[in-house]
Structure 1
């Protein structure tokens, strides 16, 4: 009976991970400024406070107000404000995969993998990618650092780093806001924050809450079925700040918790069963819930020993869980239904010292991080064991990672205007895969599992090893890495900054979390590495009317971690030996008149594999996934009315994206598989967004619309034809959304 498990069904499971990403869009760098002489945005990209225009890095810093004005309400939609940033996901808003300048997780979707774009909350590294799908609320700003950040931000930053910086108590007075909005798909949102100072200049607290609920954006025609892509999220955060006697000790304690209960992102489904359906419709009998939780607490303790020396300790403990019921077939039949379950825990400690001298500035310290993932996945395949006989696979494992690092970076003024930056970091990473087992079972989606055969540990074909309930698989992995940065920057009398830099980034080795038909697929692959060369310019021109930032870059990228399907069939994590990435981006804001501000950005990206073989096929020359050659954004902030007490501002924008592929195969097909990989791409398209905002004293009323012309586009694609099916899995991007939001501040 075991031999009747078909390759078609098994390969479908191995390839699955279906759902949707938020397609990347580009946008402006900073908040719209009514006056270009207004205060610079201050960032901490080099672990010290600096004006954005004085940092020799490619950075986009988006203020909290701009996030709200542009409708960026979760991290999955952050790409609408950053050039050369793409966001994809096999689970919709949950577990977004960030791609910066073409560097991403590619075709890897397992929850145990680390993102090559490091994600941080208030300088705290967040290991679990599920927690990256957070709602954005009550933020001071978001800093997106493009390019490797292997010195000050550490491991897993081959593509860059994203730092979400929350609002902290100011220790002065009482303030807050309350915001409520309503939109199509019956979407209701409430958000608010209040801050008070119990002891002026010494003790303060800030509490913030975010709630959003809306119906599914993909209509399900199945009788009684739930609509897909709904929203149901609740988050809260408490921040306490203590500064005894307004002295040199500054303690910030932050605690947060959140949960999401939206319906899954559902694929379009089998073409033969889509007769009469629109692009944003599906016929699915089992639209599941995407249930996730995230929580954490962090303490940032800074002690100023002297005007030039500050000690800082950042301690954090975070956790979370995902429980995703995912119908991966988009049909009224039980073809492929998956239950993804994982629990996450992590602890980290960073201690650093800052020295701020006249000619020399130093940042150095030590880091320790520990994280654990416990996974229990269930894959139900309709008629897996034979015609009308349901079954599938169950998988369990535990992954533990530890990371140790020391780092030091200094800026030395060679002259008054010429600065040399040198930095290095040495990292020790240790990984442990334990308690691993998997088995083939009989049973339907709603029934109990009857184990039939052990597949992990088992080196043979699926079904060839007798069921052994106590059998376990264990594997260790380790690697060390030296990363760093060298840069020269020069500031002209006008304030214009030019720089050139070399950086080395590193993403630690990884275990294959996607193999459950045979233990031969559970392996540990080598780390990714990037040698990056960049030159850039930033500053203000034409009497401060034009704010400009531009950068060009070249990457030598080795050992990207991608999935390969081998005979058996077994998914194996492998390294793509070489890739080449180069391109550039430009961001600009122009104050035409006091009432009209133009903003725009453009990015060019050439990201291709120089050496890669998957399924025995040479893919050299193919584009990296989720790496469109061109992205561009243009918009205007037009203050139509300004009476002093009242103002009305109209802000339309257009976003352009050239073609992008969803798979390393691009349009290449493996002979004899039935693949049609040319379907796994999205052609060039434009989306239009707009807001209209009325402000009166401390009250604001904003109307907004995204994807105004309801442009249809694919957000994600996965090959199933190669597994013997007569369709590829294709997921739609979001349809048109619009609404109105009111906000009162006090």
Structure 2
């Protein structure tokens, strides 16, 4: 009996240890963590969301940002996404599934909406706020017009800051130094202040030395540097389990070089670099600089009322000052190459204020039916201007200042119904009223044609309908049809073009996909296909034979394609990912003609009036193919882990403008990165060496077409080291 009792005790002890032993056994076959997104304004498993969505977080973000990159680091790093700017680190322009807007004017709108901490960043300047101390970046492809703020017919790029918590003092710090003395310092600290209050402070500092010589002024290391700093302070107030308030105050200041435009960078009749091109040298007689300061605040309040949750999101964003000046002919009277006339431009904002308010109610039903509904208000007021200069004398030749008020309000609702445990349907509806009042407030040496003020307003209802079917616990499929809307846009006048208005555009999109966890969640995959039609798409005509910008509408644009992603563990220490997209876009409007470039080789039909037909052309900046691949290998050591991580991206050729030409077609581009590092103390500390654009790929990525074959290029190769620690 005594022996039996001992054996019994041993069996009980062994059975108690079995879960631990099972966990240890499973640790040799790691699983991917569950990915949670808020694409439908609720926290949900990415597999259950009927939207093509990608989430970037943690190490993936850290690697891509390790060289001090601005928000353009996202370009081509996820399927169907491109980001570019003719203003350098400011005023980024986003494209999803080839659908975007190349307009660089002060009050340009975009069909891709950028949401930071649940607050829309409407003006292009606001979209460039740096990425630091974030919980994640979600890219939602296709129309998102039912649940999100405004102007989202192409999709949403959504940033969420890491939030304060009441648990403990914790944080991190990261410092790096790289080529051209590119330095970055990032840090954050979470500090509980009491049992009800917590604070999180985050900061970013970035710097790069000037490294491009100006051979005209004989000044070495004169251009391409920058200084950037941004701050964010958040306070969490959580007095009970039924109420919490999150307050956020943030700011940004940046200065340095504007985009460097290089005269006759492109060899005539090709899209190759002209002979004698040197990335580290430019010959320009124009001034080049930019400076920007922004600030903002928001308050997000949540009440749990039992059957429902109530949300209030109040946002304020402001541009205190923005000015960017560059030599857009790119050269001097003596070249390089032929430059018909000298011109230099400057433009920016003397001030912009944006207010937004959303109230939303969300159900918490245990049954099959759930819903959310709310109202939204948006108000923007801004003052912008553009100046022209004679590059030879630096004398200002003209000035035009404009003011715009934009007011919008909306009511929206969404319903989710579980038809069965495997099949869920969702539907949403949004009604929007949008009004813009635009006027010229000051002009000097500009003979404005047409009226000096314009008012536009539009009412529109949008909807979406989707279904999700779970084939089994690991695999789900979905189908979605959605509409989207972008309000009318207004562009300022110039000496030869009046104030122009592009009417509202609408989109109808069809999408279907499959999402799956594979091999006991050691891998994950998704595939989506889509087809869309945009009616009355807003397009921007820039350049031609003169330095002008105006807005037009295309009768119809069509797009179709697919996106796929897969990631997983090949072995417990070897993880890989592969993603890609194919996007076909086409402008369909046989009556649409635009002015052609001054010196390039047009490949489109040219009419009797000298204008170029763009019927049948792809959208600008729309890459047909994007491919990304990553691989990470880990060597466990006694005190830590040694790892090697590489990431590669491919983007097929792009068209810079609405017309097609041999010169203004960007070549395909491959960029690679490498990171070798060691982490220890359970990942608390890490030191790493890194390289970005490791193959030193040099490409022409944009142009200015009114004067000569001016273009600009991608970021240079960088080597650097980084140290990161946590507490």
Give TM class, smaller chain: 0.7 to 0.9
Deviation at 1:530, TM superposition (A): 0.9
Task: Give the aligned partner of residue 304 of structure 2.
Answer: 304
Q: CA deviation at 1:492?
A: 2.2
Confirm whether residue 499 of structure 1 aligns to residue 478 of structure 2.
Answer: yes
Shift of 1:172: 0.6
Partner of 2:356 in structure 1?
A: 348
Change (3 A) 1:568 1:627: closer
- Contact map agreement 1:53 1:539 (CA 8 A) in 2: yes
How far apart, CA to CA, are the structure 2 residues paired with 1:744 and 1:546? Answer: 29
Match of 1:671 in 2: none
SS at match of 2:74: helix
Q: What does residue 473 of structure 1 align with? A: 452
**CA distance in 2: counterparts of 1:556 and 1:328, whole angstroms:** 35
CA RMSD of aligned residues (A): 2.3
The yes-or-no answer on 1:573 pairing with 2:548 is no
Q: What is the Cα deviation at residue 652 of structure 1?
A: 1.3
Question: SS of the residue aligned with 1:81?
Answer: coil
The Cα offsets for residues 701-739 of structure 1, whole Å up to 9 and x where unpaired, read as: 12111111111111212212xxxx4x2121011111121
- Aligned pairs (5 A) from 1:374-453: 374-382=383-391, 392-440=397-445
Q: Which has the larger radius of gyration?
A: 2
Relative to 1, partners in 2 of residues 1:272 and 1:93: Cα closer, same or farther, differing over 3 Å? Answer: closer
Task: Provide the residue aligned with 2:231 in structure 1.
Answer: 236
Corresponding residue for residue 686 of structure 2: 700
Counterpart of 1:540?
517
**Residue from 579, 586, 595 that aligns with 1:601:** 579
User: How far off its partner does 1:600 sit?
Assistant: 0.7
Deviation string for 1:657-696 (max 9, x for gaps)? 21111011022xxxxxxxxxx2111122322211112101
Deviates more, 1:326-335 or 1:129-138: 326-335
- Whether 1:736 aligns to 2:717 is yes
Q: Does 1:516 align with 2:525?
A: no
Summarize deviations over 1:323-370 as a string: whole Å, max 9, x none: 112121222459221111212110000000010223122111000000
Structure 1 contact 370–403 (Cα < 8 Å) conserved? yes
1:691 matched to 2:683: no
In 1, the alpha carbon distance for the partners of 2:390 and 2:331 equals 13
User: Which one scores higher on RCO, CA 8 angstroms, separation ≥ 6?
Assistant: 1
**2:606 aligned partner:** none
Summarize the alignment of residues 48-127 of structure 1 with structure 2, pairs less than 5 Å apart: 48-71=42-65, 73-106=69-102, 108-127=103-122
2:133 equivalent among 126, 138, 149: 138
Shift of 1:125: 0.6
Q: CA deviation at 1:545?
A: 2.3
Match for residue 293 of structure 1?
293
- Does the 8 Å CA contact 2:577/2:629 hold for their aligned counterparts? yes
After TM superposition, the structure 1 stretch with the greater mean CA deviation from structure 2, 335-344 or 142-151, is: 335-344
Structure 1: 5+ residue stretches without partners: 1-32, 441-453, 460-471, 668-677
> Which residue of 2 is the match for residue 157 of structure 1?
152
* Structure 2 equivalent of residue 560 of structure 1: 537
For residue 434 of structure 1, report the CA deviation from its aligned partner.
Answer: 2.3
Which residue matches 2:6? none
Shift of 1:64: 3.9
Which of 244, 253, 261 matches 2:255? Answer: 261
TM-score (norm 1): 0.85
- More deviation, 213-222/615-624: 213-222
Q: Equivalents in 1 of 2:423, 2:222: separation in Å?
A: 59
Aligned residue pairs: how many? 662
- The 3 A distance-change label for structure 1 pair 564 and 707 is closer
User: Tell me, which stretches of 5 or more residues in structure 2 are unaligned?
Assistant: 1-26, 268-273, 334-340, 596-610
- SS of the residue 2:100 aligns to: coil
Q: 1:50-95: per-residue Cα shift (whole Å, max 9, x none)?
A: 1222211111111144211233643111125311111111101210
TM-score normalised by the chain length of structure 2: 0.87
The verdict on how the C-alpha distance between 1:613 and 1:206 changes in structure 2, with shifts beyond 3 A counting, is same
Aligned counterpart, 1:490: 469
Query: 1:263–1:287: 8 Å Cα contact kept in structure 2?
Result: no
Offset of residue 573 of structure 1: 1.2
3-state SS of paired residue (1:68): helix
Tell me the SS of whatever aligns to 1:455.
coil
* Aligned residues of 2:212 and 2:220 also touching (Cα < 8 A): no
| Partner-residue secondary structure (3-state), 1:738 | strand
Tell me the SS of whatever aligns to 1:185: helix
What CA deviation, in whole Å up to 9, does each residue of 1:227-268 have, x standing for no partner?
433221011000000011x33111000000111112112022
